[in-house]
Amino acid sequence: MNNLNITQIIEKVTTKYGKERKALIPVLHAIVKEKRYLNDEDIIEVAKYFNLSSAEVYGVASFYSFLDLEPRGKYVIRVCKTISCKLNDSDNIIKAIKNFLNIELGQTTNDGLFTLLTTNCLGWCHKGPAMLINENVYTELTPNKAIEILKEYINKK
């Protein structure tokens, strides 16, 4: 979906999932995938399409951590913060990433390339610590391995 407007995104997704409320989350995901976040205008447009209140759509969007409500970087890094990853040193992974990118949790690099977040379980507890960069999962991390992975993304620019 390259440079589609919100109506086009909605129509493309509802062609696959139907026009009922069950298509709401796939529509919101598609908008985030295209724009990297949902703004107020997007929420209003989606609400109109599904004949819902803006508050209902915002409630859904704000509940799910992968439906970003503020601009994010091209690559969103989500480091698992659950106990099994913490026990395997995820705090030092986060610290290394913060130092390497010169940002804090919740921030985006000045060039707009990376946003650093934590998230609840990624489902890779048996291979933690784990992180997700957009849709790509990385496991059995060390601080050095995490930085090497980020360098690969920098080279992709």
13 within domain boundaries: yes
Crossing angle between the packed helical segments 40-50 and 6-17, to the nearest 10 degrees: 40
Percent of the residues in the chain that have a pLDDT greater than 70, as a whole number: 97
Asked if residue 141 has pLDDT above 80, the reply is yes
Predicted TM-score of the model (pTM): 0.82
Q: What is the pLDDT, as a whole number, of residue 121? A: 86
Query: Which CATH number does the domain housing residue 152 bear?
Result: 3.40.30.10
Q: Are the C-beta atoms of 115 and 72 separated by less than 8 Å?
A: yes
Nearest alpha-carbon partner for 103 in 84, 79, 125: 79
Sheet containing 136-138, strands listed edge to edge, beginning at the edge strand earlier in sequence:
114-119, 75-80, 131-133, 136-138
4-13 mean pLDDT: 87
Asked if residue 1 has pLDDT above 70, the reply is no
Do 87 and 116 reside in the same domain of the chain?
yes
Average pLDDT, the chain: 91
56 vs 77, 126, 139, 153, CA distance in Å?
28, 36, 36, 36
Crossing angle between the packed helical segments 54-63 and 40-50, to the nearest 10 degrees: 120
102-125 mean pLDDT: 93
Q: What is the pLDDT, as a whole number, of residue 68? A: 87
Do 146 and 101 reside in the same domain of the chain?
yes
Could you give the 3-state DSSP secondary structure of residue 122?
A: coil
Do 94 and 149 reside in the same domain of the chain?
yes
Each residue's pLDDT tens digit, 30-87: 999 888 899 999 999 999 999 999 999 999 999 988 898 998 999 999 999 999 988 8
Whole-angstrom distance, CA of residue 14 vs CA of residue 72: 25
Percent of the residues in the chain that have a pLDDT greater than 90, as a whole number: 70
The domain containing residue 32 runs over which residues? 6-63
Do 14 and 57 reside in the same domain of the chain?
yes
Asked if residue 157 has pLDDT above 80, the reply is no
Q: What is the pLDDT, as a whole number, of residue 18? A: 85
Do 101 and 132 reside in the same domain of the chain?
yes
Q: What is the pLDDT, as a whole number, of residue 6? A: 87
Q: Are the C-beta atoms of 150 and 111 separated by less than 8 Å?
A: no
